[in-house]
Each structure stands twice: as C-alpha cells, then as structure tokens.
Structure 1
Amino acid sequence: MASHRRSAPSDRFGRFDRGARVTVLSAAMATAAATLAAAPAGADPGEPRTGSRAEVDRLYAQAERATEAYNKADERAGKLREQVDQAKDRLARGQERINTMRGQLGSLAGAQYRSGGLDPTLALMLSENPDTYLDKAATLDRITDRQADELAELQDAQRELAQERDEARRKLAELEETRKTVARQKRIVTKKLAEARRLLNAMPDAERAAYDRASRSGRTDMGTPAVGGAPASARAASALAAVRQAVGRPYIWGANGPHGFDCSGLTQWAYQQAGVGLPRTSQAQRYAGRQVSLAEAQPGDLVAYRDDASHIGMYVGNGQVVHAPYPGAPVRYDPVGMMPISSVTRV
C-alpha cells in the first residue's frame, strides 16, 4: 500500500515554529517532472503514471518518518517541561527554607544586639556566604554546638539550592534544543506533504482513483493472519471497540485524538481508552508488548509496517486493520497486508 501521511497538527509549539517556512522539494519535483516527460506522446491520459504515484508514495513515506521523529521530540519536550516545572517548585521550596533558617538566626542576633552587642559568630552566620564559616569559627573558638548545627544545616540547604539551580538551567537548555528539533521536523513534514499533495492534485481524476485503489490493496506475500477470532484480553477488546469508533475521523499529523489522529496517535488513544498507556511513536509501540507472528494475530494486536516501523495500525480480524492512513484519508479499514509488515505486537 501507499505510505501513510499527515496534515498539520494543533500548534502545540506555535511560539517556537509559527514562522516555519514551507519550501519546495526541488529534487522531488525534478524526479516527478522527468518521469512525466518520459511518458509516450500518445499515451492515454487516463493510464496510470507509475512514476508519479511512486513519487507520491516516497514523499508520504518520508513525511511519515519525519512525523514519528516529530512525535518523539514532542513527547520528550513534554517530559522536559514537567521536569522544569518540578525543578522550579523545588527551587522555591529550597529558597523558602533558607529564608526561614536565616530569619531564625536573625532573631537570635537581634536579641543579642539588644542585650549588649552582636556575637561575631552570628554575624558570620548571617553573612551572604557562610560556606567557610566553620573553618573560620574554629580559629575564633566562639561557636557553640547549637550554632554549629544550625550553620551546618544552612550550608547544606544552600548547596542543595545551588545544585537545583544548575539542574534547572540544564533542563531549560535541553528543552530549548528539543523545541528546535520539533520545529525542524515540522518543517520537514510540511514540505513533504505539500509536494505530495501538489503531485496528487496534478494527476487526472482516473489516476488519482487508481492510486487510492492501489493504496487499499493487500499484498499476497505477507502471510495469512487468523480469520476472525476474539481479542486476546479485555483491554484489547476495549481498545478494539475504541478504534472502531474512530473510523471516519480525519488524519491529522501529530494528533492523538479524540477528533483527529496520526497513525501512532490512533493506537495510543485507543489503548488509552482501555486504561493502557502506550508510547507516542510507532517505533516504540512495536515493543510495548509481546511480538507474535501474523498467523497468530488476534483483534487488538498492533501491526507495524516497513522495516523502520514508521507506520502502525490495529488488527481487527478478518484480514483487516484499522489505521490512520495519510492526509485527506480518514481513519479506515484496509487489508492487513497493505504494505510490508515489520511486526505484530500483542499489548
């Protein structure tokens, strides 16, 4: 089958990639132009132009791989945002703790000052950088056990806070780099999809119809899955019911429901309805359970395609999968052998 493709998702990182440029895929255009130019002068305009269709397939496959990279980076960015928020909370709590400790020591200093003068020990303890105080105090021979404990606790708190600040800075820098990756992958996907759509729109109606028929045909060399059969588990049955309900909803690249999906977003969403958390990308989903042969496939199993597992769908029995194919084609049923299968996974 034709490779699977994607349309623009909701702008989750609009602040960083809203200005992403959609450029022309010149190499693809040159290849397509050369293919079309090679057609015989007297060729029937309704005759399928294999070169153009192959080029559309290639562009959609590249777009799908870039989309999976986008999803992976997007998932990573989400985790980093959570970690940054947690680091900020820890920093705030740490600073509050230090302020409390210094306030307590300040109260003691105030009492001493009112009673006749400030102990040099407390003056040092209240300094902006008390890290070296213990060494200094040993030479002053003025520190009490209680003051030593309080100072040691303050020193530890300040060191922890400094480490938290360093970690937060590192996470912020990593998040910024991940956001750039997301924006870059979005530009790649947009470019590939725009060129594929241009080529499709340039095809005569008959050829476009032939392309869609070809994209829904099954291969005969992929083996034979189990016919019918029951889901392997209650969670598989729930995910199967969810994915059937999604049939007809639009393909939206980078989306994981409920109103639109890309391929791995659909399977992730379906299993989420069953209370099962799947990874975001098809490459990771293929390892989210036990792999079985195609002959053992049962409804609810995940079927990954191509050697790089850049596309995925859910087996629904009777030799069919439900999947989100590509932009312009809604979630639908197709033959399980629509393209080379890389694995079948039982979640």
Structure 2
Amino acid sequence: MAAHRKPRQQSPLGGQAVRAAATLALASAATATLFEGTGHADPRLTTAQVKAKVDRLYEEAEVATEKYNGAKEKADEARAAFDRLRDEAARRTERLNTARAGLGAAAAAQYRSGGLDPAVQLALTSDPDEYLERAALAEKAGDRQAAAVVAVRRELGAIRRLRGESEGRMTTLREHEAELRRQKAAVLGKLEAARTLLARLTAEERARYEAAVAAQSAGRATGAGGTGSATAAGSTASGSYAAPTGQTAGAPAARADRSASGSSGDRAPLATVSPAPDSRAAAAISFARAQLGKPYVWGATGPSAYDCSGLTQASWRAAGVSLPRTTYTQINAGRRVSRSELAPGDLVFFYSGISHVGLYIGGGQMIHAPRPGSPIRIAPIDEMPFAGATRVG
C-alpha cells in the first residue's frame, strides 16, 4: 500500500527563504500601514485655525447655554405648577377627611340611639314643646348631614381632577428635565472640545493665540471709536469652564485677566459713554458696572457669576424691571430699536441665532459677560456680529 502513496510535493523555496519572504511581506505591510496612517492623520492646526475653531465652539456653547436656560425656566415652571397641584390636593384631602369624620360621628350617634328613624323618635315624645324643639334640631342636623355628604362628593371629585392634572404636570416636568440634561451635555461637550484644543498648544503657540485675540479685540475697539483698553482686558480665552452649580469656579481666570490689564482698564471707557435717558436705565448700568471682573459661568444668574442673559436680567431687575431669562425672549421684552437709535440701557443682541446679549452704555460700548475664561467687561458692540436691539423699562 505504501507504494501507492503520493509523494510529498516539495516547496520551491527552502526554510530560510520562506522565513525571509514572510519577513519582507510583514515589513511591507507595516510600511504601507504607516504611510497610509500618515496620509490620513489630521495635520497640526495653526494658531489661527485653533482660534477659529475655539471661537466657533464658544459660540455654539453659548447657543446651547441659552437653550439650557430656556429648558431650565420651563422645568422650574413645571415643577412649581406640580408643587401647587400637590399642595392643593393635600388641602382637599384634609377637608375630605374632616367631612368623613363628621359623617362617621353622625352615624355613630344614630347607632347609639337605637337606629330609630328621627321621625319615629319624635313621635314617641310626650311633651309637645320638646317635640317641636327636637323636630327643629333634627331638621337642622339632617341639613348638615346632607351638606356633609355633598362636601365629601365634591372633595372626591376635586381630588380626582387634581391627581389627573398632577400626572400631566409630572410628565411635562420629566420632558423638560430630559431636555435640560441634553442641553447641559451639549454645553459641556463644546466647552471641553475648546479646552482640549487650547491644551494642545505649546507655550509659544499659546502666546501667539492670546496676542491674536487681544489684537482682534483692540482693533475692533479702535474701529468703534473706543480706547481698546477695556476690550483687551479679559479677552484671552483660557478655556476654563464651570457648571452653573459652581458659579465661583471662574474667579481665578477673572482675577488673572484683571491683574494683567489693571482693574481701572475695565472702567476707563465709561468716561466716554452717553448719559442714561432715565433713572431706571441708569440703575441697570450702575448694577452692571458693579459686576465688572466677575466670571462668566454658563447658566449663572449671580450674584458671584453670570452668563450673558443672566447679567442683563439681573441688571434690569435691580432697576425694578423684570426680564425673561434667555436671549431669545429678552429681545422681545421691549421695543425694537435700530442701531442708529441706541441709547444707554438698551439690550444689544448678536449673531444670527440671537445667542448673545449685552447692556449698551453709549459710545459704541457695552457691558457683557463674554464667555468662559473672560470676566464681565466693557467691550465695543462691533466685537461680534450685531443682530438687533431692544429698549426696555
């Protein structure tokens, strides 16, 4: 049988040749992968490209912040409405229990009297005067008992209605809270992306970046007719950020900006502003000026930190005027005015999405809360794309 076996076919290459060929194949594959990876790797961004991306991320973060503010306002309203319904249901339940207790006492008294019908009991009374007196009392007791039954039925219906409304409010509240979480994640994602981009810069690149930001702000301030000192102050974006629950977290960045330019630089342009048209506008500007140097924190409404719409809302609240929470609603809170009609105290809005707001103080200047890493400061309204203005008060 062995004579019929097919002989083993020998490889045309020896063992060493096979190993050499395999080594060359692996090396070629690795080289191809290396070149392919290099070809598809993201090129290192220039300082100008980093600045453009960071600016866009901060703008997108502010859009998300205003959506967060709106969602929070709606969630707070839904929660307050739910709490009111719950409190009303508790009061109604207490009244229901009182009415039920009254009916129970009447039933117990009837049982103790032998369960006789009141008319039969009156008929067995021998004294006519006593009969008439008891008849009147029995009629009053019957009226009270009937009223108690009606009250119980009314409270039961009211409680059922309140419970139905409460369930609806709870559903609405959960929807708004889910939207709140989505917008919070969006804000944090944009800010983290900006921080990551800035963290990749070398010390030299970071210096160029900050110089570019300062030069851009100073150029716009000069173009607006201002001195530019206020704009350069605090304009370097450090990329630090904080959630609204930590409203003082941006304070170190704010102090760094102020120490770099001098606190007087924030206030210098106020000498060139126009007088406020009335006492309320003056009060709003005075409040905003007192906040200079405090940190921007997204979602914050004071007193230690603010976002842009939080600052304008608080400033006009100090003047006795209630503004809504977000930029999208504040722009409709008064009379629209053109750029040529601007007066101190007007709200000035920026970007096509109405995602930023400042308080106009005259002379082409405003007080605003710019973005993370930049404290509340005075800046020219030419610093951002102008979108509109509203006069309140």
1:177 CA drift (Å):
2.1
Distance 2:209 2:116 in 1: 92
Q: Report the secondary structure of 1:280's partner residue.
A: coil
Distance 1:301 1:192, change over 3 A: same
1:257 CA drift (Å):
0.8
Q: Report the secondary structure of 2:110's partner residue.
A: helix
1:182 CA drift (Å):
1.2
Q: For residue 66 of structure 1, what is the aligned residue in structure 2?
A: 64
The residue type equivalent to 2:79 in the other structure is R
- Checking the alignment, whether the CA contact within 8 Å between 2:273 and 2:365 is kept in structure 1 is no
2:276 is the counterpart of 1:235? no
Q: For residue 100 of structure 2, what is the aligned residue in structure 1?
A: 102
**Structure 1 residue ranges without an equivalent (≥5):** 1-32, 40-48, 120-143
Distance 2:343 2:330 in 1: 17
1:256 CA drift (Å):
0.8
1:305 CA drift (Å):
0.5
Q: For residue 274 of structure 1, what is the aligned residue in structure 2?
A: 319
Distance 2:83 2:381 in 1: 43
The residue type equivalent to 2:210 in the other structure is R
For residue 162 of structure 1, the aligned residue among 140, 160, 163 is 160
For residue 374 of structure 2, the aligned residue among 296, 306, 329 is 329
Q: Report the secondary structure of 2:149's partner residue.
A: helix
Q: Report the secondary structure of 1:313's partner residue.
A: strand
For residue 245 of structure 1, the aligned residue among 272, 290, 297 is 290
Identical aligned residues as a percent: 43
For residue 386 of structure 2, the aligned residue among 333, 341, 346 is 341
The size of the alignment, in residue pairs, is: 279
Higher helix share: 2
Listed as ranges, the matches of 1:183-262 within 5 Å are: 183-203=181-201, 204=205, 205-215=207-217, 217-218=219-220, 228-262=273-307
1:195 CA drift (Å):
0.9
1:223 CA drift (Å):
12
Higher radius of gyration, 1 or 2: 2
Following TM superposition, where does structure 1 have runs of at least 4 consecutive aligned residues deviating by more than 6 angstroms? 219-224
- Checking the alignment, whether the CA contact within 8 Å between 1:271 and 1:278 is kept in structure 2 is yes
Q: Report the secondary structure of 2:361's partner residue.
A: strand
- Checking the alignment, whether the CA contact within 8 Å between 2:64 and 2:187 is kept in structure 1 is yes
The residue type equivalent to 2:357 in the other structure is I
CA RMSD of aligned residues (A): 2.5
TM-score scaled by length of structure 1: 0.74
Q: Report the secondary structure of 2:359's partner residue.
A: strand
- Checking the alignment, whether the CA contact within 8 Å between 1:216 and 1:335 is kept in structure 2 is no
Q: Report the secondary structure of 1:86's partner residue.
A: helix
Distance 1:172 1:166, change over 3 A: same
For residue 336 of structure 2, the aligned residue among 272, 291, 294 is 291
Q: For residue 352 of structure 2, what is the aligned residue in structure 1?
A: 307
Listed as ranges, the matches of 1:35-46 within 5 Å are: 36=44
Q: Report the secondary structure of 1:337's partner residue.
A: helix
For residue 76 of structure 2, the aligned residue among 71, 75, 78 is 78
Distance 1:245 1:171 in 2: 40
The residue type equivalent to 1:180 in the other structure is A
Q: Report the secondary structure of 1:61's partner residue.
A: helix
Q: For residue 29 of structure 1, what is the aligned residue in structure 2?
A: none
Q: For each residue in 1:98-145, what CA deviation from the matched residue of structure 2 results, as whole angstroms up to 9, or x when unmatched?
A: 1111111111111111111288xxxxxxxxxxxxxxxxxxxxxxxx76
- Checking the alignment, whether the CA contact within 8 Å between 1:300 and 1:346 is kept in structure 2 is yes
Q: Report the secondary structure of 1:247's partner residue.
A: coil
Distance 2:43 2:211 in 1: 19
Distance 1:115 1:273, change over 3 A: same
Q: For each residue in 1:217-238, what CA deviation from the matched residue of structure 2 results, as whole angstroms up to 9, or x when unmatched?
A: 43999999xx843223221110
Distance 2:223 2:89 in 1: 59
Distance 2:65 2:339 in 1: 26
Distance 1:336 1:202 in 2: 31
Q: Report the secondary structure of 2:297's partner residue.
A: coil
- Checking the alignment, whether the CA contact within 8 Å between 2:57 and 2:193 is kept in structure 1 is yes
Q: For residue 117 of structure 1, what is the aligned residue in structure 2?
A: 115
Distance 1:282 1:114 in 2: 71
1:314 CA drift (Å):
0.6
**Looking at both structures, which has the greater relative contact order when contacts are Cα pairs under 8 Å and sequence separation is at least 6?**
1
Distance 1:159 1:217 in 2: 69
Q: Report the secondary structure of 2:353's partner residue.
A: coil
Distance 1:279 1:330 in 2: 23
1:86 CA drift (Å):
1.1
Q: For each residue in 1:61-88, what CA deviation from the matched residue of structure 2 results, as whole angstroms up to 9, or x when unmatched?
A: 1111110011111111211221122111
**Structure 2 residue ranges without an equivalent (≥5):** 1-40, 118-141, 227-271
Q: For residue 53 of structure 1, what is the aligned residue in structure 2?
A: 51
Q: For residue 16 of structure 1, what is the aligned residue in structure 2?
A: none
